[in-house]
Chains A and B, each alone.
Chain A
Amino acid sequence: MKKVLVLLLLVVVGYSLYVPLSQIEFGTDRMGSIENPTTVGAYYLSKTPSELSVANVITAIVVNYRGFDTLGEVSVLFLAATGIGSILYRRRKEGEHSETISKPSSQLLQAGAKLIYPAILVLGAYVFIHGHLTPGGGFQGGAIIATGFLLMMMSYKDFHMNHTVLTWVESLAGITFVGVGIGGLIVGTTFLENFMPVGTLNDLFSGGIIPIIYVAVGFKVAAELAGVLDTLLSIKEN
């Protein structure tokens, strides 16, 4: 009986989603003229190469135009890590070690993991360092690095993250982000303003503070994701 009701509800929901969506023309250009922008999309496309010298417009939006959103997002991540720590907290008894619950893995996996792991870390670092030039950025690069850690954690029973180091990296990266923002307030005129010289387009050191913030975000995301994964894997069941 319940299934029938739910299926009916799904049909209703599906139809009520279909109706507004059919009004939206897929693939039409709603941004309007780029030379005289009236929508935010067009404005960002026109101003980014000239004023910010950043090639990846999305990075510019995430870090500069809507940098405040990114600050909120970074705090959401921080909250998730803190919340998980608080929810899963267990008083450590004497001598009890948390251990990963993975079963021992095969020789092939262990050898392969050791081989790929440094490459993954380098790829992740490359992605977040070049966030303003190529697709990618802090979040993407941090996630790649955390995946590398996850690979090692699942292949080796005793590979652990050092939570003290992770906490320090997390906090320092967060402080860098807010600190750069406050720097914008002091040196420039507004919070998170781009107060460093912007350089030329497609250079590694272009975009002012944008690469700096994105590198900090990359470290923070990597540290947080790795910490969360480690916490979730280190659960003894009794």
Chain B
Amino acid sequence: MVVSPVHFIAVPLLAAFLMPILAKVNKNLLRIIPGIVLTYLGYVSVVLMNRVATEGTIIEVLAGWSAPWGINLVYTPFTGFLATLMIAMSFLIWLYSFKFKQVDNQPALKYFILQMMLTTGSVGLVLTGDIFNFFVFMEIIALSSYALTAFYRDRNGAEAAFKYLLIGAFSSTLILLGIVLLYSQVGTLNMAEIAVRMHDVPTPMKVSILILFLVGIGIEAEMFPLNGWAPDAYSQAPSPVGVAFAALVVKAGVYGLVRIVYTLFDLDGTGSFLVVMGGITLVVAEVTALRQTSLKRMLAYSSIGQMGFVLIAFGIGTHEAVFGAIFLMFNHAIIKGLLFMSGSYLVYNTPNKEIKYLSGYGMKMPLISLFFSLGALAIVGLPPFAGFWSKLYILLAAADSALYGLIALILAVSIIEIVYYFRVVGRLYFGKAAEGSIMQKPTVGGVIAMSILAIAILVVGIYPDIITGYIDNAASAILDTDMYIKNVLGAVNEITPVENIIQ
């Protein structure tokens, strides 16, 4: 059978439906199935990324009705890159949480099902070419996140989840309203067709719809001031879930913003808005991170700041800036992943996950402290680690557009970042450990996952060319709206399974 983008969604769904039955048969199956599914999807990603690099965008028609009458999946270099990143991170999260809740199998079953659905939702959202389908996948992500946030009994998970739910319900309300108004104007739900017909929509209506969408998706993308849910959700959820939020949910949110602004509305005027909002997000988040005493909240605010940075880069809108933005998304996923994974082990047994209890852990948990320090160095942008390149490219792009104020802002914020990250690293290596502090031994899966991430950070830092080809194609793909429209609508007159259209 030919490998095609729909496997990304059909296979995990099938597995999720099968898991409750199979778990009754053999309790160990439920841990292995996600691994098998994700490995297969990794193989699918590799095949499809190769195909899209040589043959161009892949459009998959579903249910036999081609665009714009039916739903189709659009695998461009950009969406494919994001999908591959999400699958890879999900696999690492699975490795990291393999031994999760070994004691009691019933919650573990639900945990793995929810994680797999979170992955399915994120990948589906990125690959879909239809705006209502986009909304449905957003709800899949949302519901899995609410349930996963509230997972632990003995923390404030339920409260964080409820807060998240209220804000998330608002965001889906706004997006649905946007879809209602949009449908009344253009009469279609296919994204490419909407992009074509958007020119005929009167401007006041266009503005209303844009505002509704921006605020709605901005909540998922952690844009200021809509990111109130994030620190609580990250800190109260189980640690692998925190990694999933940073690597999957937020990426999906930012992708949504970018797709709406770039493809549907063709970026007129919204670029500067994105830069401003991104800048505010960045500054507020990083300054707040400085004041945090809990490690997980600090990492959460830092994550929000990085997303602000990505928004700035997408707002600038030149090819270099978009290149830097996508590179930053990639780096953020792997570096933040490593930081969350190692950070959770560091604060596992400390009360309230406070940083001040971490003195001297550098000697007692050498490997994990090393991972954390590596992540800290990488995220502030020091060479030869991966984070350096993305920061460099974005700064270069800002220089090219003569946005010197922005450059000053970014550098100032970097100093703040260095302060609060090195505060933790310093405490790890200098300082005496308190007596009676218990170290948490990481699982084998956790060590493997963290090592893979650390190696990736080093490799991309030293040889960025491994990745830059894909990212460059991705940047071209998202910027070229006309090509997107031509690719999707070009398959109108034939009902074809997987159509490769040569660019």
> Chain A interface (Cβ within 8 Å of chain B)?
16, 19-20, 23-24, 30-32, 38-41, 43-44, 64-69, 71-73, 75-76, 78-80, 82-87, 89, 91, 164, 167-168, 170-172, 174-175, 178-179, 181-182, 184-186, 188-194
Contacts and interface: CB of A to CB of B under 8 A. Distances in A.
A75 B117 contact: yes
12 contacts: A64-B65, A66-B133, A72-B124, A78-B17, A80-B143, A89-B110, A170-B20, A171-B18, A178-B13, A178-B17, A186-B1, A189-B64
A172 B68 CA distance: 32
Given A76-B140, A175-B18, A178-B10, A68 B68 contact: no
B140 to A, nearest CB: 6
Contacts of B64: 184, 188-190, 192-194
Contacts of A174: 13, 17
Interface string B45-66: 0000000000000001111110
Interface in B188-217: 188-190, 202, 204-205, 208
Interface of A is mostly: helix
B147 to A, nearest CB: 3
A119 to B, nearest CB: 31
A1 B27 CA distance: 56
Contacts of A186: 1
Given A73-B136, A171-B21, A184-B63, 11 more contacts: A20-B204, A41-B187, A68-B63, A68-B71, A78-B16, A82-B113, A83-B146, A87-B158, A170-B20, A178-B14, A185-B6
A76 B143 contact: yes
Interface of B is mostly: helix
A86 B147 contact: yes
Nearest to B139: A76
Contacts of B144: 79, 83
B497 interface: yes
Interface residues of B, number: 60
Interface in B1-39: 1, 4, 6, 9-10, 13-14, 16-18, 20-21, 24
B320 to A, nearest CB: 36
B107 interface: yes
A92 B143 CA distance: 26
Contacts of B189: 40
Nearest to A191: B6
A168 B21 contact: yes
Contacts of A179: 14
B143 A86 contact: no
B63 A67 contact: yes
A71 B150 contact: no
> 6 closest A-B pairs (Cβ-Cβ)?
A83-B147, A39-B187, A174-B17, A86-B110, A72-B136, A193-B64
Contacts of A188: 64
A91 B103 CA distance: 12
Contact of A83 (B13, B18, B143, B495): B143
B1 A30 contact: no
A171 B21 CA distance: 7
B69 A40 contact: yes
Interface string B124-142: 1000000011001101100
A95 to B, nearest CB: 18
B111 A86 contact: yes
Given A65-B70, A71-B13, A190 B110 contact: no
Interface string B68-100: 111100000000000000000000000000000
Contacts of A83: 110, 114, 143-144, 146-147
A172 B14 CA distance: 10
B70 A89 contact: no
Contacts of B188: 39-40
Contacts of B132: 66, 69
A38 B496 CA distance: 21
